[in-house]
Amino acid sequence: MQFREYKVGSRMFGMAFGLSMTITLLFPSFDLAASVVSEVGLDKQLASGWDSGWQLQDPFLDGLNKPLKVLVRKDPKTGEPMEPVYAYVYPAGTSLPNGVNHPQILGHGVEGLSVEQGRITEAKKEDGAVFLINKSNKLLDFEDKPLAYIVNATATKGWTPDEVLNQAVDSDVLHAGAGKTMFVREGCWWCHTLLPEQTQDWQIFGAPPMLGDFNGESPTAFGSDRKGPDLLHVGSRNGSREWMMLHFFNPRLVQPHSIMPRFDYLWGEFDADGNKIDYDKWRSEYDEYREGKITTPPDVPMYTKDSEIRKLIDFIVNLK
């Protein structure tokens, strides 16, 4: 090897690059591994499922292999009315979230509670599972918020995914997980960040996220280049599904100066009544409206309940 006259240099290079990787990868990993998941983090993780980017079970990002977030108003076993509670339903065969597969990423305290009281290690992918978020009377170390943990309701209460889904009306079911896949696939995050900054940002866009708000979420899709408003808390600012529907079909219907693309193609071929959507007609009528030839824009078709736009809107209004 003719690198021999560079023996010292090669070793110095190895040491320098190794030291750099030790400081930038190994040392931060101790701090990140010590983070304790917050209630927000648990909700995001359970609602979005195993992964929202490319995965073997969903190679073309159609929103497959995803859980449902369901508002449970009646006890699935007895049918008795109960205090409404959000349940995260993983139908049989759906990949379980990272925190259930690897409880150690939940962090000190949450891991123990979730395994011992929540019995999350008993959840099986083949049978499906229903998860709830419980609050304990312990407090988080740094903020005085109660420590929240995951409960496997299939083990503790015997709730099966089918039972929970059968008692729920469609408007109580949020396809937030599949919606996050749409958010990633359609590249919403190239223009909308999910990361309010620790400056004046929080006064308009809401509180910046805290350590522990992300454990188990992948991808985090923070975004880096903001060409539209931050969306981390958009559901708290504007929870109107009707407004979202108009805005996604053609943003200029509700905000004439918007530069957002139209996402009308997410409606698919048919509207909620089963009629074929005539996009060409809609667009030419809209052009007439824009030129002032007619006074009102054409009506936006109602989407079907399993359309991609419904999933995306579910994800957006769920961003609280």
Partner 1 sequence: MILKYLFAKNEAIPVGSSAIFFGFSAIVWFMIGTGLGSFNAAKLAFPDFVTGTEMFAFGHMRQVHVLAVIFGWISMAFAMAMMYITPILGNTRLWSEKLGLWNCMMWNVCLLAGLSLMWMGVTSGREYSDFPWPLDLAVAVFISIPLAINVWMTIINRRTQGIYTTNWFFAASTFMLIIVFLVGNLPEYFHLTGLTEAYMTWWFAHNVLGLWITPVAAAIAYYVIPKVTGNPLYSHRIGHLHFWSIVVFYSTPAAHHLMSAPLPEWLKSFASVEGVLILVPAIAFVSNILLTMQGKWNMFVENLEVRFTVVGVLLAIPLNMQGGFQQTRSINWYIHGTGWMVAHAHLALLGFSTFLEAAAVYLGLQTLMKRKLYSLTLGNLHFWLLLIGFSTYWVSMTIAGLIQGAGKIYEVPYIDVVIAEHPYMIARWLGGTMVFSSTILWLYNMWMTAREGTPIPAGRMPHELAYER
Least CB distance to partner 1 at residue 239 (A): 18
Q: 10 Å Cβ neighbour count for 3?
A: 8
Answer for which of 227, 237, 281, 305 binds partner 1 (CB under 8 A) is 227
Answer for which of 83, 144, 257, 292 binds partner 1 (CB under 8 A) is 257
Rounded-to-integer distance, Cα 125 and Cα 113, Å: 21
50 contacts 95 by C-beta, under 8 angstroms: yes
Residue 4: both structure tokens together: 């021999």
Query: How large is the C-alpha radius of gyration of the chain?
Result: 23
DSSP sequence for 260-288: PPP-GGGG-SB-TTSPBP-HHHHHHHHHH
Nearest Cα neighbor of 117 from 98, 138, 97 is 138
Q: Which is nearer to partner 1, 164 or 309 (CB)?
A: 309
Is residue 247 at the binding interface for partner 1, with CB under 8 A as the rule? Answer: no
Q: Which is nearer to partner 1, 35 or 114 (CB)?
A: 35
Which among 68-76, 143-151, 180-188, 234-242 is the span making contact with partner 1, rule CB under 8 A? 180-188
Rounded-to-integer distance, Cα 148 and Cα 141, Å: 12
Residue 22: both structure tokens together: 């030790």
Is residue 92 at the binding interface for partner 1, with CB under 8 A as the rule? Answer: no
| Residues 16-55, mask of contacts with partner 1 (x by CB under 8 A) | xx--xx-xxx-xxx-xx--x-----x---x----xxxxx-
Is residue 142 at the binding interface for partner 1, with CB under 8 A as the rule? Answer: no
Least CB distance to partner 1 at residue 73 (A): 31
215: buried, middle or exposed (CB in 10 Å: 19+, 13-18, 0-12)?
buried
Q: Which is nearer to partner 1, 61 or 165 (CB)?
A: 61
Q: 10 Å Cβ neighbour count for 127?
A: 14
Least CB distance to partner 1 at residue 166 (A): 31
* Distance, first Cα to last Cα, the chain: 61
Q: 10 Å Cβ neighbour count for 112?
A: 15
Q: Which is nearer to partner 1, 27 or 273 (CB)?
A: 27
Is residue 143 at the binding interface for partner 1, with CB under 8 A as the rule? Answer: no
Least CB distance to partner 1 at residue 280 (A): 10
Is residue 112 at the binding interface for partner 1, with CB under 8 A as the rule? Answer: no
Least CB distance to partner 1 at residue 139 (A): 19
Answer for which of 98, 152, 154, 318 binds partner 1 (CB under 8 A) is 98
**Residue 130, CA distances (Å) to 122, 159, 238, 271, 286 in order:** 12, 7, 29, 31, 45
Helices 241-249 and 308-317: angle between axes, nearest 10 degrees: 130
Q: Which is nearer to partner 1, 157 or 233 (CB)?
A: 233
Binding residues among 275-314 for partner 1 as defined by CB under 8 A? 279, 283
Binding residues among 60-79 for partner 1 as defined by CB under 8 A? 60-61
Answer for which of 144, 225, 273, 291 binds partner 1 (CB under 8 A) is 225
DSSP sequence for 38-62: -HHHHHHHHHH-S-SS-BTTBTT-S
Answer for which of 264, 285, 289, 304 binds partner 1 (CB under 8 A) is 264
Binding residues among 195-224 for partner 1 as defined by CB under 8 A? 195-201, 203-204, 208-211, 213-224
Answer for which of 13, 158, 275, 281 binds partner 1 (CB under 8 A) is 13
